[in-house]
C-alpha cells in the first residue's frame, strides 16, 4: 500500500508543478479509483521518470497530442506548458513542426485550440469569465 501512496504523492507533486492539480476532477467524481490510478500511474510513474525533464515531457506530449489531433486534452497541456515556462513562441514552433509531419489539418486544429487558450487567459487577466469552459 505504501508504494501506491508514494506513486500518488509523486503524481500530485508533478501536477502541482504543472499547475494542473485540479485536472481530471470529473474522474474523481465519477470513479475515485480511476482518478487515483491516473494520478499515481500517469503522473507518478510516467511524468516523474528521471529520463526527461518536465519541460521535455511537456513538449513531447504537446507534439503527440497535436499530431493525433486530439479534440480535448490539448487545452490543459497548452496551459501546463505555459505554467512551466514554455513560451507562446515555442508552442507555435511545436505546432508548426508537427503540422508539417502530421498534416496541415492538425496544424489548423492546434492553432484554434491554442488561440482559445490564449483568449481565455487574456480574459481571465481582465477579470472576465468565459461562459463555457474549454475542454481539458
The CATH classification number of 52-136 equals: 1.20.1290.10
Please state the pTM of the whole predicted model. Answer: 0.86
pLDDT confidence band for 129 (50 / 70 / 90): confident
Q: Which DSSP category does 135 fall into?
A: P
Whole-number pLDDT of residue 63: 97
pLDDT confidence band for 30 (50 / 70 / 90): very high
Q: Residue written as cell 503540422?
A: 99
Whole-number pLDDT of residue 134: 55
- List pLDDT tens digits, range 47-102: 999 999 999 999 999 999 999 998 888 999 999 999 999 999 999 999 999 999 99
CA distance 22 to 83: 14
Q: Please state, for a pLDDT cut of 90, what percent of the chain lies above it.
A: 82
Q: What is the DSSP secondary-structure string of 30-99?
A: H-HHHHHHIIIIIIIIITT-SSS-HHHHHHHHHHHHHHTT-SSSHHHHHHHHHHTT--HHHHHHHHHHHH
Q: Residue written as cell 470513479?
A: 31
Whole-number pLDDT of residue 72: 83
Q: Which phi and psi angles does 129 have, rounded to 5°?
A: -115, 140
Nearest to 65 by CA among 99, 34, 35: 99
Q: Please state, for a pLDDT cut of 70, what percent of the chain lies above it.
A: 93
Average pLDDT, the chain: 92
- Residue spans of the domains in the chain: they are 1-50, 52-136
Amino acid at each position: 500500500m505504501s508504494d501506491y501512496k508514494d506513486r500518488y504523492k509523486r503524481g500530485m507533486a508533478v501536477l502541482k508543478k504543472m499547475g494542473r492539480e485540479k485536472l481530471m476532477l470529473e474522474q474523481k467524481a465519477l470513479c475515485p479509483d480511476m482518478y487515483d490510478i491516473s494520478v499515481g500511474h500517469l503522473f507518478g510513474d510516467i511524468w516523474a521518470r528521471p529520463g526527461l525533464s518536465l519541460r521535455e515531457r511537456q513538449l513531447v506530449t504537446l507534439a503527440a497530442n497535436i499530431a493525433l489531433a486530439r479534440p480535448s486534452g490539448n487545452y490543459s497541456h497548452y496551459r501546463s506548458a505555459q505554467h512551466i515556462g514554455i513560451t507562446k513562441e515555442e508552442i507555435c514552433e511545436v505546432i508548426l513542426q508537427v503540422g508539417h509531419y502530421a498534416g496541415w489539418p492538425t496544424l489548423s486544429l492546434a492553432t484554434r485550440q491554442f488561440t482559445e487558450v490564449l483568449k481565455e487567459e487574456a480574459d481571465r487577466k481582465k477579470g472576465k469569465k468565459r461562459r463555457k469552459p474549454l475542454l481539458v
